[in-house]
Amino acid sequence: MSSWYHVAIAGATGAVGTEFLRVLERHRFPIASLRLLASERSEGKRIRFAGEELVVQRLTENAFEGVQIAFFSAGASRSRQFAPAAVKAGAVVIDNSSAFRMDPQVPLVVPEINIDDAQHHQGIIANPNCSTIIMLMAVAPLHRRWRARRVVVSTYQAASGAGAQAMQELLDQTAAILEGKEVTPRVLPHQIAFNLFSHNSAVNEYGYNEEEWKMIHESRKILHEPGLAITATCVRVPILRAHSESINIEFAERRPSVEEARQALSEFPGVKVVDDRERNHFPMPIEATDREEVLVGRIREDVSNPMAMDLFVSGDQLLKGAALNAVQIAEAMIARGWL
């Protein structure tokens, strides 16, 4: 990475925006200048980055002059409003929202899986849903070798997926309940401490919520498998950070052995196999938190189906599920001379 880039982060003060700053600094991303953008209420806030103090500016359509790479994590409505202005100003936008993911003109990219799609962007590249990324990091290396026919996934999604305020609500509710106090949900629709509930995004005519629908259709797009059978059940659990998922994969021609699957997963970039049956040590969100790898374990044959296999995964929703994946897209494009 010999070139240096003028970079902007839209939504810099949110939970994912904070992770962008951490990842960019940790990866020593080649930044010539960094512009932090957020809503009016955060304007003027000071944030330290790489030993310097940066002042947050207001996110406007005129805020992208001179910017070459714009990381967006400000929500779908703001992405729709401001991303075209960033592109018009000459920036490549890597958007973490759902705004453009299913647009056929916009690449939807997990770098380890389909980085070549990013080369064909028209100014905007979409970052997939966090649960989709974490699932596909385990599914893709097996699908490549043995071709999956059907995937069944159930998620255990942390409060981090709903943002910093939801994380704080989990902490506050837990403390209150331990003190014998009643709690009133304010950020999430139901009590999250000592409870779990179906993901609260809108339900469609098939009975699937938006999170489940995203996992189905985004996975097909990323894998270039429009006919792949996928079904998902997405659940919010009282975990502060890092999502977990139970995955059942049915293969089209033959099921790999446990050792073959373990080998394929261990060789895949960004995956860490955690599969110690003797010690009953498998992926846990507490160990996935603040790690860049997706942890994969519970690798076993499905005894009810000779063509299927079960896995359990944990991955940091704010890192590989969001900020890290976006930064990796930019890094891969720079390495290939596409930026």
Residue 243 bears catalytic tag: yes
Token pair of 128 as six digits: 């997939």
The whole-angstrom distance between residue 268's C-alpha and the CA centroid of its chain comes to 18
Cα angle: 215, vertex 10, 271; to 5 degrees:
40
Neighbour tally for 192: CB within 10 Å: 26
Distance CA 148, CA 250 (A): 6
Per annotation, catalytic residue among 130, 143, 199, 234: 130
Q: Confirm whether 190 is a catalytic residue.
A: no
Shortest CA distance to 189 belongs to which of 178, 200, 203?
A: 200
Contacts of 225 (CB under 8 A, 6+ apart): 143, 148, 219
In the Cβ-directed half-sphere of 178, how many Cα atoms lie within 13 Å? Answer: 7
- 155 and 233 in contact (C-beta within 8 Å)? yes
Residue type, 154: S
Contact 94, 330 (CB under 8 A): yes
In the three-class reduction of DSSP (H, G, I as helix; E, B as strand; rest coil), residue 5 is classed as: strand
With the C-alpha atoms ordered 279, 284, 290, 296, is the resulting torsion angle positive or negative? positive
The catalytic position among 121, 143, 199, 243 is 243
d(CA 28, CA 199): 36
> Which tokens go with 76?
């779908």
CA gap 315, 254 in Å, rounded? 28
Q: Evaluate whether 13 touches 47 at the Cβ level (below 8 Å).
A: yes
Residues known to be catalytic: 130, 243
